[in-house]
A and B are shown apart, each in its own frame.
Chain A
Amino acid sequence: MGRFLYFQDVIKRLESFWSDHGCYVGQPYDIEKGAGTMNPLTFFRALGPESWNMAYVEPCRRPQDARYGDNPNRMGYYFQFQVIQKPPPDNIMEIYINSLEDLGIMRKEHDIRFVEDNWESPTLGASGLGWEVWLDGMEITQFTYFQEMGGMEICPISVELTYGLERLTSYIQDVDNVWDIQMSPGLTYGEVFLQQEKEGSRYGFELADIDLLRENFGQYEKEAKRILKEGVILPAYDYALKCSHLFNLLDARGALSVSERQNYIARVRSVTRECARKYCEIRGFEKS
């Protein structure tokens, strides 16, 4: 596999690879989110006819997946490497495989498979068709052609590649446990993030104040709706993101019944849809 790759090297290589393929290498967005797709530069740019090519690291918070740092490959806070290409090049799958080769994962030495896995984000009113990419049986990337965003059919479609950075690096570094990943010489993933993971788990599962979270949700939702009426879209979307994170916390805390869950999801979706609709209106996109 050549030179040893630290976590930061994996990111650097992916950035440089996708930069060479016409992507603007962006930065993470500063509000908690459950998936890189929620970054406004993906959510909004997927709408309308304008082309968009971007690659960026995005931290994800999924309180439900937290395991107190006990699980070797599941955590409530982790990193995705996101690539958006719109419209996607015809040979995008081939380019993707080349990006793996750039990381030293040579196709002839491994088993690389595209196994059907369709994707849906009810809070974003988004869906797509695609695959999970298996490297020697391990899921390392989600590969999706968006079909809908903000409740609207989109055209042209975008491709979204989501590399699971921890999975990929564990594999490359041949470690069994995410916490043993080498971030940079002499520094492990555990040293950087384990305390946060442990405390985050405790907070999400045991300590989060349910009433406060519910109240905040209501307030943020109200604020989003209020400013949307004023035609302010991106700040309203920020509040939708905050609502979405509060919902995830409530869910992890086990505070929501099935019907309540549906209800909360629908409330977030109605804000994100409205954001998408207004965005298209302001940018002058025709309704599809």
Chain B
Amino acid sequence: MTDDLLLEIGSDEIPARYLLSAIDDLRARAEKAFDDARLSCEEIVSYGTPRRLVLYARGLSAFSSDVTVKVRGPSKKVAYDSAGMPTKALMGFCRSLGIEPSDVSIEKENNGEYVYGLKHDPGRPVNVVLGQIIPDVVLGMNCPYPLRWGNENWKWFRPIRWVVCLYGKEIVPLVIAGIASGRTSFGQRTLHPEALDISSADSYFRLIADAGVIVDQNIRRQIIADGSKDLSREIGGRPLEDEDLLDEVVSLCEHPSPFRGEFASRYLELPEEVLITVMRHHQRYFPILTSFGKVLPGFIGVRDGSPDTGMENVKKGNEWVLRARLEDASFFYAQDVKVRLEDRLKDLSGVYFLGGAGTLYDKTMRLEELSGYLAEKAGLCKKEIEMVRAAARLSKCDLVTLMVRELPELEGIMGGHYARVQGIDEEISRAISQQYLPKGANGRLPDKGISSVLSISDKLDTLAVAFCLGVGVSGSQDPLGLRRAASGVVNIILSHGYDISLDDAIRKSVFLARDAARKAGKTEVDEEVVCDRLKQFLLSRIEVYLSDKGYPIEIIKSVLGSGEPRISRFPAMVEAVFSMLGSEELTDIVTGWRRTSVLGSKASGRDVSLELLVEEPEKALYAVVIEKKNDMERYFEEGNYRLYLQELSSLRAPIDNCLDNVLIMSEDERLRENRVKLLGVVSDMFTKFADFSYILPLLGKL
């Protein structure tokens, strides 16, 4: 016999940012718990609104399944005495399984004979099992910042207020956070605030819908998405596409009713980013855009409640709030543009950076120098170098404007706007506005050229100062966003292909950052150590970058092991090795490397003496090396990595020939040393490209 199970956990409003993952978590935990408890059902689904999480198991069997397992008992020696009679040990074992000594069997194993018995675990009624497992399924959910309440210090997203748990028509008795299960639920706060009895599991969805609750988050999402499209179309626009906002709005209501509000077109004079930020981040409205992406003087809001009553109040109230916010923003904008960005530089010395590591003015000075340095290394022309420096100089000035103090998420963007309005060169303005890009893992990158150089400099400086201060990253703790900054640096350099030496960039930024660290009270900074730690940190982000592109970690680690400082070369180098995976050539390369590198790494120098090469095979190997060396250097510099690797693979034959026929560890010390040097020269050609030891596992046995 089977029936449906309904579980509804009613609570104070669960924070929107957790709701969707909580819905999935509840289902996943229930599936696992049901499995462990041997409960079977056709399907488990979960839903949720801010005020309730719902679990529904269709066709759940009325009993957990029977099971019989074979259990190993004591060894035969221990189980029977010398007369072959059962010992206390065996009797105890049998008692624990509920069987007689005559029921056991003896099995032979490697280390002797053992007693085995069958343990029969009969199925139990589903309500008994559920009463035991459901509380833990619910209370053990992943709550990042749980609220603590009640005398027993319960912890969950927010206080739990009711629990409905029905198997068919019957209440499943259980207690969660001090609340006994029943059949009483509550409807949407405004449409049906009264209690509501659920007669049976399968009537739940109809009854709760009648009480104004759309429990299925996907249906709410559809209502909001469709409604905002229709309403936008009425004024010839479309809602801004924003999945995060949609997720949030879905998680903020039980009964969404989208509506369109308006604002005065005079506010359209504000930068679009300001309008969008105010609507989206502060009010959770969908901005409405024309087909060309221009902001229209309207917005889509979503009410939680009926579309039929009081909608004019809701619309008017929301318009009122938006107007107040836009009025504020207009005031800020008008005040801000009056002061030239350049004139704000002095104010930056009143704002501390990273909790006292100098001021933003100090940072600006560092950025000017660092960005100029990096621009030169990245091969920008003289004029561009000057532009980067100019952008760097103004880059932080918007942080002391009213607008950015009010809407911090507009940092950079406002700086760019104000620069443009004040007649500063477009490219410089753009660099200012793009300095914080990329925002996320797949976020848009700053444009190639001065924008990118400024963005790299800003992040590298923050990293260098933090590392000088000894502020690192551990586990999920990354309050300064250092991981994101490092990923940004890597992402820009690799994607735009700047042939910059990472070592140089790090050294310069750390050198500049020491002073800031000193101001924060860190008087002793070991530059070597800081540079190395920062480099390892950045390399770890390169690993992430490349493995996100699908390359095997072994290949990535091997190429990074080359120690090549121009990190923008890594993607193509990794691709070259990857494209050879499974080929004979790669096997030849790894073999060549393996045969030369162990001894080669012990060589005292690379000055191979021709006169001391006496055997034919070693002469031949050296000749090949000399012949290929220049070409290979060129291939490498030009980025012809495939050719470089092919040349490496062609070295295997002369290497084999030499090592098979020449005794490296000759008794003659001078010959021996010379031969080791020769291997050093050869293995250098391999290790310049990669540390092939990481690749060995990919090749199987050689």
Among B144-166, those with CB < 8 Å from A are: 145, 147-151, 153, 158-159, 161
Give the distance in Å from the alpha carbon of A153 to the alpha carbon of B147 in the complex: 12
A135-B317, A155-B151, A258-B356 given; A108·B305 CB < 8 A: yes
State in angstroms the CA–CA spacing of A107 and B304 once bound together.
Answer: 11
Known: A114-B13, A155-B153, A156-B151. A138 touches B145 (CB 8 A): no
Residues of A within 8 A of B572 (CB): none
Binary CB contact string for chain A from 84 to 117 against chain B (1 if under 8 A, 0 otherwise): 0001001101100100000000111111111110
Whether B150 lies near A110 (C-beta < 8 A) is no
- Is A195's beta carbon under 8 Å from chain B? no
Select one of A115, A136, A147, A257 contacting B350, CB under 8 A. Answer: A257
> 1/0 per residue A110-134: CB within 8 Å of B?
1111111010000000000101000
A72 CB-CB contact with B under 8 Å:
yes
Inter-chain contact A111/B303, CB cutoff 8 Å: yes
Are A113 and B252 touching (Cβ within 8 A)?
yes
The answer to whether B327 and A72 touch across the interface, beta carbons within 8 angstroms, is: yes
The answer on a CB contact under 8 Å between B317 and A259 is no
- Chain B residues lying within 8 Å of A107, measured Cβ to Cβ, are 189-190, 193, 305
**Is A73 on the interface with B (CB-CB < 8 A)?**
yes
A72 and chain B: residue at smallest CB distance = B324
Q: Would you give the shortest CB distance from B251 to chain A, in whole angstroms?
A: 10
- Assess whether A176 is in contact with B193, with CB atoms less than 8 Å apart: no
Kindly identify which residue among A91, A108, A137, A147 contacts B318, using a CB–CB cutoff of 8 Å.
A137
B316 touches A136 (CB 8 A): yes
Residue contact A112 to B148, C-beta cutoff 8 Å? no
B551 within 8 A of A: no
- A97 neighbours in B (Cβ, 8 Å): 189, 193
A71, CB-defined interface residue at 8 Å: yes
Q: Chain A contacts of B306 at CB under 8 A?
A: 108
Contacts of A153 in B (CB 8 A): 148
A111: B residues at CB distance < 8 A? 303-305, 310, 314, 317
Residue from B283, B314, B317 in contact with A171 in the complex, judged by beta carbons closer than 8 Å:
B317
* Shortest Cβ distance from residue B267 to the other chain A in the assembled complex, whole angstroms: 15
Shortest distance in angstroms between B257's beta carbon and chain A's nearest beta carbon? Answer: 9
A156: chain B residues at CB < 8 Å are: 149-151
Closest beta carbon of chain B to A210's beta carbon, Å: 13
Residues of B within 8 A of A259 (CB): 352, 355-356
Known interface pairs A113-B252, A257-B352. Does A176 touch B320 (Cβ–Cβ under 8 Å)?
yes
Is A18 among interface residues, defined by CB-CB distance under 8 A?
A: no
In the bound complex, what is the Cα–Cα distance between A109 and B316 (angstroms)? 12
Interface size on A, residues (CB 8 A): 42
B321 touches A137 (CB 8 A): yes
- 8 Å CB contact of A138 from B12, B149, B303, B320: B320
Q: Which of A72, A73, A93, A137 contacts B301 (CB 8 A)?
A: A137
How many angstroms from the CA of A71 to the CA of B253 in the assembled complex?
32
* Contact status B50-A110, CB under 8 Å: no
Q: A66 in the interface, Cβ–Cβ < 8 Å? A: no
Most buried by B among A97, A108, A118, A136: A136
Q: How far is the CA of A106 from the CA of B191 in the complex (A)?
A: 12
Render B1-43 as a binary contact track against A, CB cut-off 8 A, 1 for contact: 0000000000011011100000000000000000000000000
The answer, yes or no, to whether B322 is at the interface (CB within 8 Å) is yes
Q: Are B149 and A145 in contact (CB under 8 A)?
A: yes
Closest-by-CB residue of A relative to B353 is A258
Closest Cβ neighbor of A128 among chain B residues: B147
A219: Cβ under 8 A from any B Cβ: no
B313 interface neighbour in A74, A136, A155, A258, Cβ under 8 Å: A136
The closest CB in chain B to the CB of A115 belongs to: B252
Is A254 located at the chain interface by the 8 A CB criterion?
A: yes
B99 within 8 A of A: no
Chain B residues near A135 (CB-CB < 8 A): 317
State the CA gap A109–B317 with chains docked (Å): 11
Q: For residue B359, which residues in chain A have a CB less than 8 angstroms away from its CB?
A: 257
B259 to chain A, nearest CB (A): 9
Among B13, B190, B304, B350, contact of A131 (Cβ-Cβ < 8 Å): B13
Proximity bits, A140-158, B CB within 8 Å = 1, else 0: 0000010100000101110
**Residues of the B chain whose Cβ atoms lie less than 8 Å from the Cβ of A108:** 190-191, 305-306, 309-310
Alpha-carbon separation in the docked complex, A19 to B141 (Å): 39
A36, chain B: closest CB distance, angstroms:
21
| 17 sample A-B contacts, Cβ–Cβ < 8 Å, listed by A number | A71-B331, A87-B151, A94-B193, A97-B193, A109-B310, A110-B314, A114-B13, A116-B13, A116-B16, A136-B317, A137-B321, A155-B153, A156-B149, A156-B150, A254-B350, A257-B356, A258-B352
Rank and list the top 8 A-B pairs by shortest CB-CB distance, nearest first: A136-B317, A109-B310, A258-B352, A116-B15, A137-B318, A259-B356, A114-B13, A107-B190
Contacts beyond the supplied A73-B324, A116-B17, A155-B153: 17 A-B pairs with Cβ under 8 Å = A70-B331, A87-B151, A90-B159, A93-B13, A97-B189, A107-B189, A109-B309, A109-B310, A111-B305, A112-B190, A113-B304, A114-B50, A136-B316, A137-B321, A138-B320, A138-B321, A254-B350
